Structure 1
Amino acid sequence: MFAVVRTGGKQYRVAAGDKIAVEKLAGEAGDKITLGEVLLAGDGGEIKDAAGVLVSAEIIAQAKSEKVIVFKKRRRHNYRRRNGHRQQMTLLRILSVGAEEKKAAKKEAAPKAEAATATAADAPAKKAPAKKAAKAADAE
């Protein structure tokens, strides 16, 4: 199974076992992450719905890409500038491409909500503050 994912403003076609270099992502080497935006999924020659497809990956390393030379020149003005740039990147190993596993809903959450409403109903009603009555008495 393969998927097309978007990360760092670029799109990558990935399958289980692939290694890709993407724009820098947060995390240490060995961390497991999920690539969020899956645009397309497929199996063999057929295209499947990308909704519910999850791509999990492991960070191999945080590295820098190869140096890109930036050279500026204006002819006949004795102007030359030479700079280099190395972009930060993350090396990923794709662990799996597949359907998202649905987790069972917690049954404990519903009784807690009922208990909260029950305690609110059992509590005595609050009385209005006596400050306004006291100020009215002082004014007279």
Structure 2
Amino acid sequence: MYAVIATGGKQRRVEAGQRLDVELLAVPPGEEVTFTPVLVVDDGAVLATPDELVGASVTGRVVGEVKGPKIDGFTYKNATTNRRRWGHRQRYSTVEITQIATA
């Protein structure tokens, strides 16, 4: 059985026992988090309408936080001394899916 959840503006396909990195959640490590599924597939039966998904839920446990790859940037304008270096490193929460429940 698998479910498609929406988190961080993205949709992800998840199964029980899977670990995935999602956008940073305001939940400390070790706590439970519940996602509302967009779609649930259970042994070939697809639950997709709002009436079918009323009791469906996906629960997971926040394992920790990780950082994504470093992104380096450099802006430059010719004939001036306008130069700027910048960098960014996105933070993610690692979530382990513990249960996919249907109604």
Range class of TM-score, shorter chain: 0.7 to 0.9
Provide the residue aligned with 1:31 in structure 2. Answer: 31
Distance 2:76 2:42 in 1: 50
CA 1:44 to 1:73, structure 2 compared with 1: closer, same or farther past 3 Å? farther
1:94 and 2:97 correspond: yes
| Letter aligned with residue 8 of structure 1 | G
SS at match of 2:30: coil
Q: Number of residue pairs matched? A: 99
Question: Could you list the runs of 5+ residues in structure 1 that have no partner in the other structure?
Answer: 101-140
Provide the residue aligned with 2:13 in structure 1. Answer: 13
Distance 1:12 1:6 in 2: 6
Provide the residue aligned with 2:42 in structure 1. Answer: 43
Moved segments of 4+, more than 6 Å: none
Provide the residue aligned with 1:55 in structure 2. Answer: 58
Bigger-Rg structure (1/2): 1
1:72 and 2:75 correspond: yes
| Letter aligned with residue 58 of structure 2 | V
Specify which structure has the bigger relative contact order, considering alpha-carbon pairs within 8 angstroms and separated by 6 or more residues: 2
Distance 1:77 1:53 in 2: 59
CA 1:42 to 1:81, structure 2 compared with 1: closer, same or farther past 3 Å? same
RMSD: 1.8
Q: Which has the higher helix share?
A: 1
| Letter aligned with residue 102 of structure 2 | A
| Letter aligned with residue 86 of structure 1 | R
Distance 2:31 2:4 in 1: 21
| Letter aligned with residue 95 of structure 2 | L
